[in-house]
Structure 1
């Protein structure tokens, strides 16, 4: 009725945006995908929900996630697994698996996810959609149950890059209620989609092409070549501290997560699923020395990326080094070798939670009937740069916009 009466609020007015179930919606059950919070009802909206409401979005529902967002499979022991719409025997990826599937399967136009080690980008890549992890501090986390305070982000998961820009415009901005929020300028990100990458310098770091599924590597390199033909300039860059990034990410995330859940781990250990219980108990082991050493790695990595972004505009990587395993499988084939899924799943996403840099994944191809994601990373608070590169690629390749197999049957 508002639109019909001439009160049009903008591009999200009347558009369905579904919410991951660790983001608070006043007086509605918010489970965090857990048994412990199965009946929890917050008394207030998360800031991002308030902002989307102001933009005129409508909310079709809450979305399943890995328990407490602490995992990458979304095989939830309390509410069931989230199935990949491209192959329903395979995982969706997590922890924002419900957000990835709901958007890919046209249950919603867009969704919100959270990302602590890759939890927006992993399911977005596996489900064949766009997923944006904004710069840390750009989007308020007030009213979102934390996984790891210093690594958590909230961001959009959408069908197109342009949609991601519109959602980001609605949810970005300083919030004094969030102690990690940064008072930095926001932008009309949708107006920064210039349809040109001429002269854009793309950095390629060999770390991100080591031990990668051959079909994934081929798809991403073909995508980079496509951008190069449009006038982008490709350069090799070196970031030495990346070799320690996975260690620093894991020490940080397990320590912070276990601090958050320590009381319930002591009082209600059996109410956690097996995998989350194991990770929380593991997080009680690192010492203060381990944690502080990880933060020193983090600072050094941050400096190295800043130096690289004085030389290139963006860095492009595969979003993930492998294809999704079947539900319940802990291992996956990587170039014919059976490897542990969790050992590899955040190798390429985690460094950008440590540094807080903006990163977007966009579909760039298929392998074995499953979508492949390409990750584009930029300097802090330069979301417009990475969205523009992603948008140019997306529009160059409309053939990649396909319906999941489950919707074709």
Structure 2
């Protein structure tokens, strides 16, 4: 299992003991977090499947940076029993795999109620119905173009082409508006950091000096959140879920880039102190937070590469419990990617 927040700063405790995972495509670049080792291992061929936990993109960001498939299930769909409950209201578990078909197989095995995990006990039965349909003629795909375009030019160019490819398969592309996304960003941060601060209270008190400076800063910031802040953030969650309920009456999915940029470079200082680039953190989780905050499922699929040879991914989000439509669209996105580049670090364990 990975840890829960898709930011490099929360990985610093892990980095202190296990060092920084390297990106198999370019070892001097980050893998993203926080299921970083999981995504790197799958991309490098060390294992066909890894399970990650995603509270702020921690399945989808490393999957995107490492050029593999990452599925964040609906909140409660896949049991998180046995993983550290750092943030009980934002985290969903999901598989990281080399293909959408593998992700579908793992999802179909894991997506069941678990008596030891109360949040998913009343889920509808998981299905892969319609996943292998020959086209997308019955689907309406929503895009908030202002939100969609807030990414690097290389990422935007290939993601726009992916949208047109899905349209060519018969899908209708419908312009939608995602309201109050700045409020979502702040409210998600309050919820996940506040819950992490609560869970880590003993460590914060007893092992404060052992934590890296950026981890101390984040947990100290979370210490300043009030009960009113947390209540207000959860009121925003209710509003955002209602907005999405309305949007999903007119579209089947919401499309975005996976991550707004490609994997950043690892500098020598990062190897000693870790990395705490707040502006990059905000950009990397931009397209992730809505899914974590409201509990809707999201799938990232690699669709190409930057001129530097780093992977670029595309994200599809759907209404609660509708992972099947994500996997259906994901299969088509794999056909859009005309070439697959093997990472520079790769182990053929079956050879």
Q: Same fold (TM over 0.5)?
A: yes
> Which secondary structure state, in structure 1, belongs to the residue aligned with residue 104 of structure 2?
helix
- Are positions 1:285 and 2:229 aligned together? no
- Are positions 1:394 and 2:334 aligned together? yes
| CA deviation profile, 1:338-389 (whole Å, cap 9, x unmatched) | x821122211101100110010000111112110110000010000011101
Paired position in structure 1 for 2:42? 103
Paired position in structure 1 for 2:33? 94
- Are positions 1:158 and 2:97 aligned together? yes
Range moving further from structure 2, 341-350 or 97-106:
341-350
- More strand, by proportion: 1
Pick one of 128, 140, 143 that aligns with 1:201.
Answer: 140
**For the Cα contact (< 8 Å) 1:121–1:132, is it kept in 2?**
yes
Between structure 1 and structure 2, the one with the greater Rg is: 1
Q: How does 1:132-281 map to 2 (within 5 A)?
A: 132-189=71-128, 192-281=131-220
**How big is the shift at 1:78?**
1.4
Q: CA RMSD in A?
A: 1.9
Structure 1 runs of 4+ with >6 Å offset: none
**How big is the shift at 1:192?**
2.6
> Which secondary structure state, in structure 1, belongs to the residue aligned with residue 136 of structure 2?
coil
**How big is the shift at 1:404?**
1.1
| CA deviation profile, 1:93-134 (whole Å, cap 9, x unmatched) | 010011111111100011111100100000000000000000
| CA deviation profile, 1:147-184 (whole Å, cap 9, x unmatched) | 21101111000011010010011111111211322422
- More helix, by proportion: 2
**For the Cα contact (< 8 Å) 1:134–1:153, is it kept in 2?**
yes
| CA deviation profile, 1:223-275 (whole Å, cap 9, x unmatched) | 11111111111110012122311101101111000000012211221232332
Paired position in structure 1 for 2:323? 383
Range moving further from structure 2, 268-277 or 155-164:
268-277
Normalising to structure 1: TM-score of the pair?
0.78
**How big is the shift at 1:322?**
1.4
Measured in 2, the distance between the counterparts of 1:195 and 1:121 equals 26
Unmatched 5+ stretches in structure 1: 1-19, 21-64, 333-338
Measured in 2, the distance between the counterparts of 1:71 and 1:234 equals 29
Paired position in structure 2 for 1:29? none
Measured in 2, the distance between the counterparts of 1:71 and 1:122 equals 7
Measured in 1, the distance between the counterparts of 2:5 and 2:253 equals 29
> Which secondary structure state, in structure 2, belongs to the residue aligned with residue 299 of structure 1?
helix
Give the structure, 1 or 2, with the largest relative contact order (CA under 8 Å, sep 6 or more).
Answer: 2
Alpha carbons of structure 1 residues 211 and 256: separation in structure 2 relative to 1, 3 Å: same
Measured in 1, the distance between the counterparts of 2:310 and 2:223 equals 37
Unmatched 5+ stretches in structure 2: none
**How big is the shift at 1:202?**
0.7
Alpha carbons of structure 1 residues 245 and 295: separation in structure 2 relative to 1, 3 Å: same
Q: How does 1:18-37 map to 2 (within 5 A)?
A: 20=1
Count of residues paired in the alignment: 336
